[in-house]
Amino acid sequence: MSHLRYIFILFCFFIETLSAQNFTIVPLADVSVSNIPIEVEHYVTTTNGIMDVRIFGTHYGNGTTSQYASYPMSRSEMDKLFNSGYAATTLWWTGTLPSSRALAFTNYTTLTSGGASVPSNGNYYSLEATCTFVPTETGTYYFRMTSDDGSDLQIGNTSVIEWYGGKGVGQYRYGSISLVAGQQYYLKARMQEYSGGDGLIVQWQKPSGGNYILWTNEIGVSSSSWVNQGTKNTDVNGYVSFSNPNLWPYRYTITSPSFSIDTTDIDYFASRILQPDSIIGFDWMRLDITGDSLVTLQDLYTFGYFSNTSTISLSGAFYTSYEYGQIINSQSNQSSKYPPLSNRTFTNLNPFVNNTDTIYMPVMTKPPLNYTKTPKLK
């Protein structure tokens, strides 16, 4: 049976309960799917609990409300207390603070003892604390915050909590957002103080439950890197599995073996060449041995010439579901846009939970290095 007329499909699916990454190569051709190497790497982010902090003087430093009210009641009003384009707002201090100070203080002295400068003895000021937030679990995170006076919390482009108006620390407002473990999100927490007491507390509960606390191990990035998890070869059924207990982001590299040619491959090649109207989809890539984006008798001659000398072989190429859909019914050669690669790395920065990858692997002709020396047809 001709190898050329069939494809393999590589199914990559995740079993959530086992925290495993399972790959299966399902052959639709009479070739072995045993001992095909699949290398997996996971992406590790190391956090440091540090936040970037900006502190502004507001209300001209004396409580004047000519440009905005004592207490903002909306996000757009809150924005004015962080915009030095308003004469009443002045950038006072910038620097870094541990999240244990920036997101957990009930008096401005917690900030100043950490090296920050706060204007007006803790009156008429606003604070913005930002960081890269890296959740350790996938699912719905539940946040809460309290402040004196107003505050808000943003993750990515989502406003999670808005808690404006004059009040004291102790009255919490709640919000939630769905996050993916290992992804990096922009987090911004803000508070403003008019006069009197001041403070800001931000806490959250992970999807797995538990208490609301400040999880400093999910705040701030000190380093990120790909870590090799190893290479495993598929078994006789085309199956291989990797553990993923921490639900890391991942990428995997698949390398196709070479497959030998038999007479049916040559017959298939000839039938397509002699019926050019039947050439479609992956045939363009399979049959264009000379690499001129055409399929002609010269390709057939080159294929036959080298197959007789056993210096030509077949190999798999790898495509995503989207790419497969673009190629399979194409009336033209798509190899320049979607080159057939027998070794390809796929990166998916989403953890495997509830995520399925399907990679299509058509069998391609692998010409010898010296195919250009084939005698030319007259």
Q: Pick 49-219's CATH classification: 2.90.10.10, 3.30.930.10, 1.10.10.10, 2.60.120.1560.
A: 2.60.120.1560
Q: Where are the domains of the chain?
A: 7-44+225-373, 49-219
- What pLDDT does 377 receive? 56
- What pLDDT does 356 receive? 43
Q: Report the 3 state secondary structure along the chain.
A: CCCCCCEEEEEEEEEHHHCEEEEEEEECCCCCCCCCEEEEEEEEEEECCEEEEEEEECHHHCCCCCCCCCCCCCHHHHHHHHCCCCCCCEEEEEEEEEHHHHCEECCCHHHHCCCCCCHHHHCCEEEEEEEEECCCCCEEEEEEEEEECCEEEEECCEEEEEECCCCCCCCCEEEEEEECCCCCEEEEEEEEECCCCCEEEEEEEECCEEEEECCHHHECEEEEEEEEEEEEECCCCCEEEEECCCCCCEEEEEECCEECCCHHHHHHHHHHHHCHHHCCCCHHHHHCCCCCCCCCHHHHHHHHHHHCCCCCEEEECCEEHHHHHHHCCCCCCCCCCCCCCCEEEEEECCCCCCCCEEEEEEEEEECCCCHHHCCCCC
pLDDT tens for each residue of the chain, 378 residues long: 556 545 555 555 433 334 567 777 766 456 777 888 889 888 887 889 999 999 999 999 999 999 999 999 999 999 999 999 999 999 999 999 999 999 999 999 999 999 999 999 999 999 999 999 999 999 999 999 999 999 999 999 999 999 999 999 999 999 999 998 888 899 999 999 999 999 999 999 999 999 999 999 999 988 888 889 899 898 887 788 877 766 677 888 888 887 776 667 777 777 877 787 778 888 887 777 777 777 888 877 777 776 666 556 677 777 777 888 888 888 888 888 988 888 888 876 444 433 345 566 666 655 544 445 555 555
- What pLDDT does 210 receive? 93
- What pLDDT does 152 receive? 98
- What pLDDT does 8 receive? 54
